[in-house]
């Protein structure tokens, strides 16, 4: 794919939960190797938007294109399962709460998708699994179960699990929000490394220092709409919209 052509395109995305209009016409693009950070208050629609990208939440209407796979949704439109599967295979998702299988080792968690979804031979899956655990600094924990791992280690296993599937785009849904403060850095360091290696990333986060240091572009969402968008130095340090200013003011004194 041409690096100038978007690898992610979202056009007029809407999401209703009953009478609640959560996403109100969201549109944006992401180019290959770009790190897009999405910020906003709790309940603004950030996580819902991210989950719509790989159809963990079914959009009410709009068009989502990821790595050339385009899906248009709307009232009365039934999206074929193979089209959703194609989008999901192009994306890796890292959740707030890790979502590891407790009965499996770290390595078992990482290779499960390779074996069940990609139908990869076990020896090849183990090879890839060990490679990706090493990438996140946890090869020595490959035989440990999640109960024996810290929160930061669990999240790094979750990242390795997503990377093993060789996605074109990584989606991070507040990946540090469930972690103790002293463990946040180890997860952010892995994400910084991925950014440096050119992984395309869409990151929902409250870590403003990460957004400032690592992102190529920042989107601020308020009440289901993109209110402000631009490079981090503009959105985070010289925001134009009053809503963005008020949101960032709530972080003053929290960020060094």
For 37-62, the pLDDT digits (tens) are 999 999 999 999 999 999 999 999 99
pLDDT band at 253 (very low <50, low <70, confident <90, very high): very low
For 191-246, the pLDDT digits (tens) are 999 999 999 999 999 999 999 999 999 999 999 999 999 999 999 999 999 999 99
The yes-or-no verdict on residue 255 having pLDDT over 50 is no
pTM of the model: 0.94
- pLDDT, residue 252, reads 65
**Do the Cβ atoms of 106 and 133 come closer than 8 Å?**
yes
Q: What sign does the dihedral 113-118-122-124 (CA atoms) show?
A: negative
Q: Considering only CA atoms, which of 221, 223, 203 is closest in space to residue 212? A: 203
- How many Å apart are CA 199 and CA 191, to the nearest integer? 9
Helix axes 122-135, 106-116, angle to 10 degrees: 130
Q: Which H or E run contains 107?
A: helix 106-116
């Amino acid at each position: 794919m041409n690096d100038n052509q978007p690898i992610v395109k979202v056009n007029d995305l809407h999401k209703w939960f009953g009478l609640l209009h959560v996403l109100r016409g969201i549109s944006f693009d992401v180019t290959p190797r770009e790190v897009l950070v999405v910020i906003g208050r709790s309940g603004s629609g950030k996580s819902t938007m991210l989950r719509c990208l790989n159809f963990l939440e079914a959009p009410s209407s709009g068009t989502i294109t990821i790595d050339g796979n385009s899906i248009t949704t709307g009232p009365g439109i039934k999206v074929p399962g193979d089209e959703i599967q194609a989008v999901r295979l192009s994306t890796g998702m890292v959740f707030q709460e890790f979502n590891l299988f407790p009965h499996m080792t770290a390595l078992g968690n990482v290779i499960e998708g390779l074996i069940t979804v990609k139908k990869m031979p076990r020896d090849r899956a183990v090879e890839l699994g060990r490679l990706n655990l090493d990438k996140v600094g946890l090869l020595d924990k490959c035989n440990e179960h999640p109960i024996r791992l810290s929160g930061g280690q669990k999240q790094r296993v979750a990242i390795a699990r997503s990377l093993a599937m060789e996605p074109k785009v990584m989606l991070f849904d507040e990946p540090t929000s469930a972690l103790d403060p002293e463990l946040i850095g180890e997860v952010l360091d892995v994400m910084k490394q991925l950014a440096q290696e050119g992984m395309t990333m869409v990151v929902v986060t409250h870590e403003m220092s990460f957004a400032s240091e690592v992102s190529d572009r920042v989107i601020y969402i308020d009440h289901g709409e993109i209110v402000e968008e631009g490079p981090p130095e503009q959105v985070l340090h010289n925001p134009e919209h009053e809503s963005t200013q008020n949101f960032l003011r709530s972080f003053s004194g929290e960020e060094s």
